[in-house]
Structure 1
Amino acid sequence: MRHLIPSWIRVPLVFFIIFGLVEYFVESGEKPAFIEYPMVLLFLVLILFVIIAIEAIVSSLENILYQSLDEESKTRYDAIETKTPKFIAWIQNTYKKSLGQKPIKEEHEIILDHNYDGIRELDNDLPPWWLYAFYASIIFGVIYLVRYHVFNGENQYDELETEYVEAKIAIEEYKKTAKDLVDFNTVELLTSASDLSNGKAIFEANCVACHMSDGGGGIGPNLTDEYWILGGGIKNVFKTISEGGRDGKGMIAWKQSLKPSEIAQVSSYLLQFQGTTPAKPKEAEGDVWQE
């Protein structure tokens, strides 16, 4: 039988489908890009079935035409068939065996006695590929049942929990290097020279007018004593700078102008004023703060 689809197309297609099925159903690391999406695999399988259907129809038509030839024409046809290259012939024979069809010359052995208006039937067995697939599905089903329902193998819920744990670890690692993800709940007092130096620059550029360069206070409160209007400590100071002070008369919210990492730096810097002696300290405001 002459195939409509060349072997160099059909063979790789079958290989990719088999390889894809194995990769999809058996965990073996990362899957190839074309298998990550189930629809791609389904599309390849559909193409294979369409090819098989088309070639089955063509094969039937060829059989009918072959039967209508005289002996001389059949001989010439058979001679052409034998000129097929060995590799291609091996592929074709393997393909024919997978269909389980009888050669045209042997079809008389499987003709049924039934006759419907001159139409007779062939008693073909189920194709070997179908039987093997059926047996494989039974074996797969038994293994799946034993592994996941008898021995309680790892299921999708377990995989999801594992991925959650891995994601949380990855997020924590990312936060260590992503300083602008810091907020009121996660901010910590910074002590490195570079952070305090940046905090000082921000303080001198934005805060000196209200708090004085030595933190003694002016329009704003004194930063050197232990009294705080909205609470002391790195978390409260960060929140006050970020969200602003008291409504109507407090400090503006700096979150529109400063990055979270910059707010953390200036908050850590101004806490260095605690316990120092400014030149002109403002009177205490607020309540004594204790950690």
Structure 2
Amino acid sequence: MPKNYTRVQTVISFLFLFLTPLALAKAISSYQNPFNFLENPLIWIGLIAFGLVVLAKEMLTITGVAKIEKAEMIKAGINPEEVDHWAWAKKLINKWTEAKAIEEEGEIVLDHNYDGIKELDNNLPPWWVYMFYATIIFAVVYLVKYEMMGAPNQDMEYAQSVAQAKRELAAFRSTSKEAIIDAETVTILTDESDLNRGKAVYNLNCAACHIADGGGGIGPNLTDEYWILGGGIKNVFTTITNGGRDGKGMVAWGKTLKPKDIQKVASYIMGMQGTTPAKPKPPQGELYKDETQEVKEEIIEQVKDSVQ
């Protein structure tokens, strides 16, 4: 009966350890976010339960083996209490440190003696020596690979990663139904609904420092042609997103506002150009002239010259 019970227990244990991982793998693959505890708590319950069962089984196995070893020692006339179970660890430590026992220090004592303080001629620990050799090998491999064979270093790998990210972003933009808005792709919006949304965002977040009519308060005047960090929709979008000057500029609204809303409020601010606020603040920064406008003026002049 005990043998049959042991066999049945072994079969059940094998089936559990073999089939449970398959069931968990099937369950994990059937969910979109399997490891989200709030969405799929049963996955985590199953994993934890499986881990606890395996741990309990191993603990029982270790305990059983220890009892068998103890019984064998008693049968052989050895007292289990006198056996040093950590002898293997002590032997390993001694091998990797080559430390001498106190009673053996007389073999390595030197003639140096100062006020009773003696010096021992200990060898360098093998673990330290091997690590030193490993650093030499690493230095040689590094020198040959990166300095002589021209393998990509960190700067090159960074440049390659950035280039790859740009290619992936360009591919995504070409297939995405919704355009990605950033400082490179942002354009001025002229639709009334977009400008109304921009005005609402401005009044809520910007008017406290720039005044509702854009004349400037704590922040600079937004109605003149002078800009501290550059004018134009791209510069204004970048300034709103990343914030003003370090230590004394406005906060980075890119952490709070969505790119769409930043585009709308930037477009609304661009619409303030040339308006007359009630109490305009003196100009700050440098006079900014849109580069596209310069190009247009240049083309017009060329056309006039060609006609004449």
The alignment's TM-score, normalised by the length of structure 2, stands at 0.38
The alignment's TM-score, normalised by the length of structure 1, stands at 0.40
Greater relative contact order: 1 or 2 (C-alpha under 8 angstroms, separation 6 or more)?
A: 1
Structure having the higher Rg? 1
